[in-house]
Amino acid sequence: MARTYYFPPVVIMEPGAIELIAPEIKRMNVKKALVVTDQVLVEAGIVQDVLNVLDGAKVPYALFSDVKPNPTVTNVNAGLQALQENECDFVVSIGGGSPQDTAKGIAILATNPGDLRDYEGVGKTANKSLPIVAINTTAGTASEATINYVITDEERKLKMVIVDPNCLATVAVNDPVLMLKMPKSLTAATGMDALTHAIEGYTTAGASRFTDLFNLEAIKAISGSLRQAVEDGDDLDARDAMAYGQFVTGMGFSNGGLGIVHSMAHQLGGFYDLPHGVCNAILLPYVTAFNADAVGDRLKDVAQAMGVDTSRREPKEINIMAIDAIKKLSKDVGIPAGLKEIGVKEEDFSELADLALADICTGGNPKCPTKEDVIAIYKAAF
């Protein structure tokens, strides 16, 4: 069956990449940028590194630095107001998933009528967003590469997943130099988020031989470099490998889909305002165990990509080895052992399960879960 794949038209990668954004902006024939970011990155000096490039190229801009973790509809609307008041006609996003997703929401609402809630789901906009120059500063979400974004509807306490080719960035930038200042905990959480994308993207029902290339490559790169990136944040080679790994899996899962790790993690983020990467990391081995009998030999491929010797092993044993490798990596980089440690409440499992089953990512899971299955996974990860 024929499929359509979506990728950013321009990709700039490797150390020093931000120095190359000015010529791309000039080619876009735009007038003024809204720079979308958060206060943490402003205070770290990372935003200034990018503003220096814009200043040097004489690109006018206004700064919107009020993005919050797990950004909300209100947050996006405030950014849209800033864009309109400053008469900006394109967006430069600086950050990880939160600024990138906020920027997508702003750029979409600038060219499409109504409320962001109107576009929850798949492909509901009519018009391409404003141009976006997406500068990634974490090796995690790959939002700079994907047609997905996630915004919290604070009224429903729900993370809305929006899948829309019209939100795809015009220029995707990964400069590992910008990632050198990331603290250990954020490096670990975003790195495990990327690994979740790769493993879930490789085992999803929507995987294809094309997306497999990206996701297997990402598993190798991430599992081979994450420990070092956490241990020594100044190791540019490790940062470069992580930036590469998270980006290539972004191209994979954006075109193949995900599964119930994300469905379940989205609810934890919307319900408790918890970091998405940590929730994914905790849930990943337990969902992988649930799906193991529905993915054929794919966990063997995962195990081998993570450096596990599977020779002379039976399939069930190999599946366990893959799951154990995920758990060990998560533990090695300091991810909490269970959901209880991050404030999740067992009495909420029933409601969380209902929400997870309604999440758009659930349709991509290789095995169809019941409510009881989802509750059991939450309990196992507790």
**Pair type for strands 90-95 and 132-136:** parallel
pLDDT at position 181, please? 82
pLDDT at position 1, please? 73
CA distances from 162 to 108, 221, 335, 359 (A): 11, 28, 27, 10
Domain 10-179, what fold?
Answer: Rossmann fold (3.40.50)
CB 24 within 8 A of CB 91: no
Distance, CA of 250 to chain centre: 7
CB 321 within 8 A of CB 313: yes
CA–CA dist 219, 198 (Å, integer): 6
CB 196 within 8 A of CB 261: yes
DSSP 128: P
CA–CA dist 170, 175 (Å, integer): 16
pLDDT at position 122, please? 94
Give pLDDT tens digits along the chain (382 positions). Answer: 789 999 999 999 999 999 999 999 999 999 999 999 999 999 999 999 999 999 999 999 999 999 998 899 999 999 999 999 999 999 999 999 999 999 999 999 999 999 999 999 999 999 999 999 999 999 999 999 999 999 999 998 888 999 999 999 999 999 999 999 899 999 999 999 999 999 999 999 999 999 999 999 999 999 999 999 999 999 999 999 999 999 999 999 999 999 999 999 999 998 999 999 999 999 999 999 999 999 999 999 999 999 999 999 999 999 999 999 999 999 999 999 999 999 999 999 999 999 999 999 999 999 999 999 999 999 999 9
Q: Which amino acid makes up residue 363? A: G
CB 279 within 8 A of CB 359: no
CA–CA dist 37, 65 (Å, integer): 5
pLDDT at position 42, please? 96
0.85 exceeded by pTM: yes
pLDDT at position 157, please? 84
Domain ranges of the chain: 10-179, 184-380
Count of CA atoms in the C-beta half-sphere (13 A) of 237 = 3
CB 177 within 8 A of CB 45: no
Q: Which amino acid makes up residue 346? A: E
- Look up the CATH number of domain 184-380: 1.20.1090.10
